[in-house]
Structure 1
């Protein structure tokens, strides 16, 4: 199943972090092809309501122009950068808030989402890959417009491994290649890049301190790609301090870099940790070694970022598929640091504190399309033109499963069930579905289907133990949880047991193919987008960082633990598949490469099994709106023909 956008520096996911222009760290997940929608933007559009007055609501949700959360330059806060599909393809846009001027900064056939601003606002940095293959180089162009130029001459093409920029023009660039593993380079204006870090395991740039004297690196040298350690080094690569909660791989506790304090003379680093069984922030000073816990007594996962003056933290709290914002005053009296930042019920997909103390955030719910809002009561960007129609709200289902209570989100059409039902499985696997607006589930509801989204073991937001439960029985554990929710959906009268569809993108596509093979009597149809289909071949063909993740999940390489790869590979069970199968795949996909998909399809063809395959010229999903609509239309039509239900997609 497909949706609209992918966050900059992130795999296409459902839903990913807000599509805010930013640099990614090393890739460590298969991702998912779905994504949370972003809202509209001023500028040229793929079509207005007047031009497309006859189109169905489900297409309007895709075509309505939208944006990601604008990023602003630290020393030029009136200069912003955001992602929009205003032309029908997701590209980067520059926005001068002082004059109101907006302009399209990138224009490529397959779209562009990875970008950021230099601290002085003078330059737009963006990542240039080839046809969505995620392998490329950083380019830059003046904020006010002008020709693109290589941002770091001397660095060959690679997968991105993080980027940090300093106000003096220095850049710290992370890279990943199959030959070199992970490398990190310091690039000063007019000088050749200097390599300061190299390791075979995955690593990436975390942040650069405000004065430019410290670099935080997230690494997995201990061999557990699911749980990073942090090393702080000088620009010459010499080590300052190490923070490692993995204890050499003997205990599964991860760390994440959230950012250095935004003021000179303050060496504190905001760090995410899992010491109490969930993600939460603390402060760590690598120069003194002092760790400062924070008084945040909230259930669920907690993230944070700095307010621009360093006096407070903007806390993002996720719990049971919803999210909210808080302000944490660092100088407050004990017991009183937290105050609520008012946001509506639903999902905040990204937030940033502005220099004037206001907070801008990208918000939506399953029923209401996204908006970029401000705590001053305004909508940050409210353009004219077609608006995305709303959808139905989600309801929560809690189901007892083999590993504990499973949370699922349910949307259903009007009337009484049982309904034909799509189990729309998220990717990652370390991600979660939330009460956020997404056009693909809404399209299925419009066509008379109920939609169930399961936050299976491996999902984030339910504690570290739930996320880390996948190892060694990869795929099979998630499917046990999906089966428990399926049984509930049927017994409750929601789902028609004869018309159950298993669907998903990326890891969700993988679980779809694995599910229709290991549970052949349960599913009437399988719809798999950019899936893992042949795990052994996928391992050998995928990007190096994902190989590290697979070694962590399965406990070794295909040669070291062949029985685990065989048990977790959809190809193993292809001859047991009974349901008709629809597969879509990007021919340039580096995460779920095309060769392993073709191996699976060949086995279906040898059996004469009913299936359809759609191959398109892009990577792990598409950034082109019409391509997304085409893919959903093909899925809807496939379901209509084989289930003999619903209306034609056209």
Structure 2
């Protein structure tokens, strides 16, 4: 099934075969896992880059018709369907600043209109749309903190039912629209949410679940969804009570909890099968993922067969089949079904393959560190090597397709990705370990893997590149200053560069996260912010630095990056800065290609001819 678009057909791109393989990977049409309307499962919504910008598309599975829903200069990816499939909701911000309002458009096409008149622009904080017309909208602003608003069927205006200075958001709405689940951090720990269930009729509290109370360690909870059955008050919840994420059933009306106790290592998430008889389990362990079906009545756990690699998204369909978005480091993403075959296959050229990853385990100061390594298809080490540091920090690199690392491999570099302390997928203790010594702890793990890469003969110690985006960009700048002799080049995208100024300018939810990570605000713990800020060490930086930044970024705002750049310039340090008109990254394919090209050129310029020109066709 192809992606239809009025703007561009990628089969008509001239000279595709003559463009480098790394550019082809970015330009090749991609699709997300289609979301489907709960009461109209033939109506689906997905994201595609088919026009060269990531936008939302509607797909009528019964007729096969597809159409582009949104068309904005900086792209759109945040959208959903109403349960009856009549409306497509999408979030409209301004040039990537993440501050805006919900809009809606008829599924069959038509004019956009404000979805919730009466609500001013804000950062989104979750959305739930009921079958009978109930709406629950989460918002946050710097002035008001977090709020939740309810629109009851027939009401003319939204009503505020929740407000708090700390971060909070909408979890889900029950099948009959009578119960609202909210995730909140009123206790002040933005990394570990508690849950509250309200009655939609009067916004009164029905139930509370808070694992941050009564113990020496704070544990998080997350809403995974109410049971898809009328009158069923069971809420599927993720908890960390045994040191990892795993699901349980909480009957919010009866106050009972059903512990599933799945015998699987690593983190476990879940969603309901549409008939409520079972759960689709997503198991993530050591940078790979797999699927299972859990039978609630018998407690049986049955594997859902998928290829080796990573499942980045999955959903169970009403007929019992499972659709999932799969890829590996070597093979591009594809939407598959357990019924066999590909669910949604965009037309046009396909992305070239890359090379597989190797698993490396290195002893570090906080335990064994897992790293993923990709080597050039030809040549022997030591190679010029890029340490590509992931963002988050609560995230992890996996055996999944990534066009950026593949571009470096094409150019003769080895690529090393480190799942440092703070990464998910290795247990709660590993994820929570970076508190108070933020940045410095992660870099201890990167340093341990760097030493392995050099001593093993993989990496040329004179041609090491430290690179990353967002939190990875922050760690890049911090690493260049705290270990100035370890790195030959630094490449930082949308980084935290001046932690205090970043705190002053960033969105309120991230201020709460920083207070959790560092134990307070800059006024309360100034020494911790100073120790963790790249600006503190900027005068020690020796390596040439390339920084790219979105001028509308609410997460890593531009002023704090300018402060860092000014300090580099004042002492004549070698650096280049690229500013672009978007937010925390770009949804425009050609813009992404431009940024990678700038990084490749900067590294080649300063490594003394350390990279080989790849074959235009790339690896097979």
For the aligned pair, the TM-score class normalised by the smaller chain equals: over 0.9
Tell me, what secondary structure is at the counterpart of 1:531?
coil
Which of 135, 140, 144 matches 1:171? 135
Matched, 1:232 2:197: yes
Shift of 1:466: 0.1
Q: Quick one: distance in 1 between partners of 2:261 and 2:389?
A: 35
* Contact kept? 2:492, 2:547, Cα under 8 Å: yes
Shift of 1:388: 0.3
Tell me, what secondary structure is at the counterpart of 2:441?
helix
Matches within 5 A, 1:213-224: 213-224=178-189
In structure 2, the CA distance between the partners of 1:170 and 1:98, relative to structure 1 (3 Å rule), is: same
Matches within 5 A, 1:120-131: 120-131=84-95
Q: Quick one: distance in 2 between partners of 1:522 and 1:622?
A: 30
The match for 1:341 is 304
Tell me, what secondary structure is at the counterpart of 2:485?
coil
Shift of 1:193: 0.4
Which of 425, 444, 448 matches 1:484? 448
Matches within 5 A, 1:237-248: 237-247=203-213
Which of 161, 166, 170 matches 1:205? 170
Q: Quick one: distance in 2 between partners of 1:613 and 1:384?
A: 36
Shift of 1:41: 3.9
Q: Quick one: distance in 1 between partners of 2:333 and 2:167?
A: 34
Shift of 1:144: 0.2
Q: Quick one: distance in 2 between partners of 1:564 and 1:355?
A: 51
The match for 2:242 is 276
Q: Quick one: distance in 2 between partners of 1:249 and 1:197?
A: 27
Tell me, what secondary structure is at the counterpart of 1:574?
helix
The runs of 5 or more residues in structure 1 that have no matched partner are 1-38
Matched, 1:397 2:360: yes
TM-score, length-scaled by structure 1: 0.92
In structure 2, the CA distance between the partners of 1:542 and 1:488, relative to structure 1 (3 Å rule), is: same
Shift of 1:42: 4.8
CA shift digits 1:293-341 (9 cap, x unpaired): 1141000000000000100000000000000000000111x5xx10000
Deviates more, 1:235-244 or 1:67-76: 235-244
Which of 121, 146, 150 matches 1:182? 146
Shift of 1:251: 2.4
Q: Quick one: distance in 1 between partners of 2:133 and 2:593?
A: 41
Shift of 1:252: 1.6
* Contact kept? 1:273, 1:282, Cα under 8 Å: yes
The match for 1:357 is 320
Matched, 1:97 2:61: yes
Which of 554, 564, 570 matches 2:534? 570
Matches within 5 A, 1:374-453: 374-413=337-376, 414-453=378-417
The match for 1:612 is 576
Q: Quick one: distance in 1 between partners of 2:612 and 2:357?
A: 23
The match for 2:437 is 473
Matched, 1:137 2:101: yes
Which of 541, 557, 560 matches 1:593? 557
Q: Quick one: distance in 1 between partners of 2:13 and 2:89?
A: 36
Matched, 1:310 2:273: no
* Contact kept? 2:140, 2:147, Cα under 8 Å: yes
The match for 1:30 is none
* Contact kept? 2:31, 2:346, Cα under 8 Å: no
Matched, 1:289 2:252: no
Q: Quick one: distance in 2 between partners of 1:479 and 1:82?
A: 37
CA shift digits 1:66-95 (9 cap, x unpaired): 010000000000000000000000000000
TM-score, length-scaled by structure 2: 0.97
Tell me, what secondary structure is at the counterpart of 1:486?
helix
* Contact kept? 1:40, 1:66, Cα under 8 Å: no
Q: Quick one: distance in 2 between partners of 1:49 and 1:564?
A: 55
Matched, 1:195 2:166: no
* Contact kept? 1:637, 1:648, Cα under 8 Å: no
The match for 2:295 is 329
Q: Quick one: distance in 1 between partners of 2:451 and 2:2?
A: 39
* Contact kept? 2:9, 2:348, Cα under 8 Å: no
CA shift digits 1:388-407 (9 cap, x unpaired): 00000000000000000000
Deviates more, 1:192-201 or 1:164-173: 164-173
* Contact kept? 1:366, 1:392, Cα under 8 Å: yes
Tell me, what secondary structure is at the counterpart of 2:228?
coil
Tell me, what secondary structure is at the counterpart of 1:48?
helix
Matched, 1:373 2:336: yes
Which of 477, 484, 502 matches 1:513? 477
Shift of 1:624: 0.1
Matched, 1:266 2:232: yes
* Contact kept? 1:174, 1:204, Cα under 8 Å: yes
Tell me, what secondary structure is at the counterpart of 2:44?
strand
* Contact kept? 1:40, 1:64, Cα under 8 Å: no
* Contact kept? 2:90, 2:104, Cα under 8 Å: yes
Tell me, what secondary structure is at the counterpart of 2:340?
coil
Shift of 1:384: 2.8
Shift of 1:600: 0.1
CA shift digits 1:559-599 (9 cap, x unpaired): 00000000000000000000000000000000000000000
Matches within 5 A, 1:552-567: 552-567=516-531
The runs of 5 or more residues in structure 2 that have no matched partner are none
Deviates more, 1:377-386 or 1:481-490: 377-386
Q: Quick one: distance in 2 between partners of 1:128 and 1:546?
A: 21
* Contact kept? 1:224, 1:249, Cα under 8 Å: no
In structure 2, the CA distance between the partners of 1:379 and 1:265, relative to structure 1 (3 Å rule), is: same
Tell me, what secondary structure is at the counterpart of 2:212?
coil
Matched, 1:251 2:217: yes
CA shift digits 1:356-392 (9 cap, x unpaired): 0000000000000010000001100123310000000
Shift of 1:46: 6.1
* Contact kept? 1:171, 1:186, Cα under 8 Å: yes
